Amino acid sequence: MIKGRDSMTKIDSQKRARRIFEKLGDTADSLIIANGTEPHVDASFFYVTGYTYGLFEGSYLIAERDGNISLVTSLLEEPIARTFDNGIEVFAEGDRDRMIAKLQSLAGKLSKKPIALNSAELTYSSFLRIKSVFKGSKLVDGAESFEAARMIKDEDEIALIQKACTIASDIYKTIPSMLNEGTTESAVAAKMAFEMQNAGANSIGFDSIVAFGKNSAEPHYSPQGDKLRKGQFVLCDYGARYKRYNSDITRTLVYGKASKKQKEMYEIIQRALELGTELCTPENTGEFVHSKVADWIDSTDYRGRFIHSLGHSLGLSVHDGPGLSIRYKKKLEPGMVLTVEPGIYVPNFGGVRIEDDVLITKGKPKVLTRAIRELIEV
């Protein structure tokens, strides 16, 4: 279990590596995860190691099917690596050339055996370096296996996501007080970031979306200098990052008294959220859940106004894998954490999106985000 920052932190890295090998089947006997330079660091590196901080730029992690795991890293990151009790053998070197030399010394026992790489998060320069060091090995693409393993969260991961969700949920209570005539979207986003970190988040999970009025009809809007006026929607899509794990929540308010149309849109999405959440059970596929919610929205006067997937996997990355979409035809599994985020978007008028983070269990889904879902008129 994860302990406090000041004590040795224990992570079962071998168990996490085994999950990847289970997904790989007999295609590889070992795996290598290479970190590039920020922002090109591999979340799977932190999944296996359990390191909750540090960059580990240019580091290499080698895991073998028999349970041996080795880390080649820099002296810069060595103190962090040795803080964690994860059963990983740490080799720390003073410069890049010595790191590559150590990597080459480890390559011998893996020669002529297939090695899995995570192509989805591997830079081309790192690939070329691995290829030159492991000349006698067959390199195979294991990206889908890395993704599939990470989609099922263990107890430690769920606890960290829950903490991130609690922080994000709690700061929603402060958002109405941030809304005043003439305040800007950017100002509200900045205040939200402060409140999350002040409440214990290590950082924001992603660039927050704060959209006033007609801007809320753009699902991936970025906050600008637009000023708040009475009668406008205020859509806030944000998340907290806690020890590398993320939350992702959206709430939509109205500044002033909501119009009949605004209330109608909100009530439809509120029901869509309830329906989508109820359907997040192991007997359903991601495609099924998305389609049922999309059909519900299309049965209203807002047909065609739900223009994105219902949700995605959440974890070390905000988009941690597939989820509730027409492309995910597999059944949901206990341990998955997914967003459920239906929305209606009317150009030149505005949009409503409500989003929760949901844990799939053997029975009913567990909602991890607890901010109120009723429409708030500020």
Question: Tens digit of pLDDT for each residue in 152-188?
Answer: 999 999 999 999 999 999 999 999 999 999 999 999 9
- 5 exposure class (CB count in 10 Å sphere: 0-12, 13-18, 19+): exposed
pLDDT at residue 106 is higher than 60: yes
Strand partners, 89: 70
As a whole number, the mean pLDDT across the chain is 95
Of 243 and 1, more confident = 243
Q: Which two tokens stand for residue 35?
A: 């970190």
Position 117: which residue type?
L
Instruction: Tell me the pLDDT tens digit for each residue of 335-353.
Output: 999 999 999 999 999 999 9
Instruction: Tell me the pLDDT tens digit for each residue of 11-28.
Output: 899 999 999 999 999 999
Q: What percent of the chain has pLDDT over 90?
A: 94
Give the predicted TM-score (pTM) of the model. Answer: 0.95
Q: What is the pLDDT of residue 6?
A: 39
- The pairing of strands 350-353 and 249-255 is unpaired
Provide mean pLDDT across the span 298-308: 98
| Residue 207: DSSP 8-state | P
| Residue 217: DSSP 8-state | G
DSSP per-residue codes, 138-162: -EEE-HHHHHHHHHS--HHHHHHHH
**Distance from C-alpha of 315 to C-alpha of 336, rounded to nearest angstrom:** 9
Contacts of 37 (CB under 8 A, 6+ apart): 57, 58
Please report the domains of the chain, with CATH numbers, ordered by start residue.
9-150 (3.40.350.10), 155-367 (3.90.230.10)
> Sign of the C-alpha dihedral, residues 22, 23, 26, 30?
negative
How many DSSP H helices and E strands does the chain contain?
Answer: 11, 19
Q: What is the pLDDT of residue 110?
A: 83
Q: Give φ, ψ of 11 to 5 degrees.
A: -135, 140
With bands split at pLDDT 50, 70 and 90, how would you rate the model's confidence at 252?
very high
